[in-house]
Amino acid sequence: MSYATMWTYPWDVLDEGVEKVVGFLREEVGLDAISLTPVYHTYDQLRLHLPGPRLLSTYEDAVYFQPELACYRQTAIQPEVSPLARDRDPLAIISRQCRARGLKLTLWTIGMHNHLQARRHPDCALQGAFGDPYPGALCPANVQVREYIRALSVELTSRYEVDCIEYESLYYLGWGMFRNHAKVGVDLGRVGRLLLSLCFCPACRQRAAASGVDAGALQAQVQQWLERLFAGGVLGDGLEDFVVAAPLLTAYLQVRAATVTSLVAELRQAIKTPISFLYMGDYLNNGIDTAAIEKLVDQVEILCYGSDPVQARAQAEARRVQMAAPEQLLAGLSAFHPVADAQTLRQVIGAVHAAGVRRFSYYNYGMIPKKHFPWIREALDEVRRHG
C-alpha cells in the first residue's frame, strides 16, 4: 500500500494555523504523515500562502522545539533555539495535533549542515587539506558532534510522539557548503572537488590511524595535487580512475565511509524509533556506503525531483536494483516548479510507482502553490488504486 508524506516547516504550520494545516493535509490532501523539521539550517523562503510580508529569512541554524538542557549536559555543542520556539514548543503543539487527526509524524532532522555550530566550534567543523575549517559543515568523525547528534536524537524521539526520524546531511557534506558568495577562480573538476571534500581534522586523522592509514602522507599528497590545480593545471574529471590509481586515497575514503556508517550504527543503538536516511550525496564525495547503511536503517530516500517521468522512473529503478530490500526506498517528489500541471504530477508519481516504489514524500508544504494540492490528492488516489 502506498504511503505519502510531505516535508513541512513548523513556521508555515504555526502561522497558517495548526489545526487548519494538519486537518487539510490529512483530510484534503490525503497524506499519511508529515515530515516536520525540528532542526533546520538557514533559509530565505518566499511564502506563498499567507497575506502580508512574503520573504521569511533566518540568519542562524536553529532547533524548532524547546530542548531540555539536561539532555545536553555532556555535549560541548548546545542547541540554538529559534526565536519561534522561545515562548512555545512548536514540535509539541504540532505533534499533538497530528496525533489527534491521525497524521503520522516524521522528524526531518538536519545533521552536519550547521553553519552556526561550525562557527562556534571550529574544532568540530570539517577541516580541509590545508587546515582550514569549512564554514558550513560539522565533521561526523568528531566525538562532540556525534554526542550532540545522539543527544538530539534521543531527546526528539523520547519526549515527543514520533513515528520516524529522518536524517538529512548525516554524512560528510563535501566541498561547497559556503556561508557567503563563493569566490572560486578555477574549474575544480570532479577530482578537485573530491580532494577539497576530504576532512583532515584530528578526529578523521585518528580514525585513519586506527585503520592503519597514513592520513599525514595523504594530506601532503592532496596539498600537492591541489597546488598543481591552483597554479593552473588540470586534474581532470576521471574521478573513478584517479581514485583507483591512488591506493592511499582509496583507503582514506573507506575510513570516511566507515565513520558515517558507525555514526548511523550508534544512533540505531541509541533510539528505538524507525530511522530514515536521506541520500543527497554519494560514496566518493560524502562517505555514503549505501549497502552498509541500509542494513542499519528502516528506510532510505532519494530525490526524484523534476518533471520527467522517464528520468524519475530510471532513478528509482537504478536505486532499487542496488538494494537488498528495495521496499525500504522512499522517493522524494517535487510538487512545484518545474512540475507545472496536474498531469505531470500524476505521471511522475505514476512512473516511480511503476518502478516499484510505494513510499513518497512531496517537497514542501509552504512552497507549493495552493492550486497544486488537489493535484497531489488526485495523483495519490491514482497510485493508491494500484496498491
Q: Which residues make up the interface to Zn ion (CB under 5 A)?
A: 139, 141, 199, 201, 204
Nearer to Zn ion, 6 or 204 (CB): 204
3-state secondary structure (DSSP) of residue 35:
strand
Residues in CB range of 245: below 8 A, 6 or more apart? none
What minimum distance in Å lies between the beta carbon of 268 and Zn ion? 21
DSSP secondary structure of 19-44 = HHHHHIIIIIS--SEEEEEEEE---E
What minimum distance in Å lies between the beta carbon of 134 and Zn ion? 10
- How far apart CA 329 and CA 300 sit, in angstroms, is 5
What minimum distance in Å lies between the beta carbon of 301 and Zn ion? 25
Nearer to Zn ion, 196 or 368 (CB): 196
What minimum distance in Å lies between the beta carbon of 255 and Zn ion? 10
Nearer to Zn ion, 204 or 330 (CB): 204
What minimum distance in Å lies between the beta carbon of 123 and Zn ion? 10
314-to-206, 329, 355 alpha-carbon distances in Å? 40, 14, 8
19 closest CA partner among 97, 93, 92, 96: 97
Nearer to Zn ion, 249 or 329 (CB): 249
What minimum distance in Å lies between the beta carbon of 173 and Zn ion? 11
What minimum distance in Å lies between the beta carbon of 44 and Zn ion? 29
Do 139 and 203 contact (CB within 8 A), yes or no? yes
How many residues does the structure list for the chain? 387
Nearer to Zn ion, 204 or 271 (CB): 204
Nearer to Zn ion, 204 or 260 (CB): 204
Helix ranges (H only) for the chain are 10-16, 18-23, 90-101, 115-120, 143-159, 189-197, 202-210, 215-230, 239-244, 247-270, 283-286, 290-296, 309-320, 342-354, 373-385
Do 226 and 189 contact (CB within 8 A), yes or no? no
- Whole-number CA gyration radius for the chain: 21
What minimum distance in Å lies between the beta carbon of 191 and Zn ion? 20
Nearer to Zn ion, 171 or 279 (CB): 171
3-state secondary structure (DSSP) of residue 135:
strand
3-state secondary structure (DSSP) of residue 57:
strand
Nine cell digits for residue 183: 569566490
Residue 3 has phi, psi (to 5 degrees) of -130, 135
Q: How far is CA 47 from the centre of its chain?
A: 22
Q: Which residue has the cell 534521543?
A: 154
Nearer to Zn ion, 134 or 160 (CB): 134
Nearer to Zn ion, 121 or 358 (CB): 121
What minimum distance in Å lies between the beta carbon of 127 and Zn ion? 6
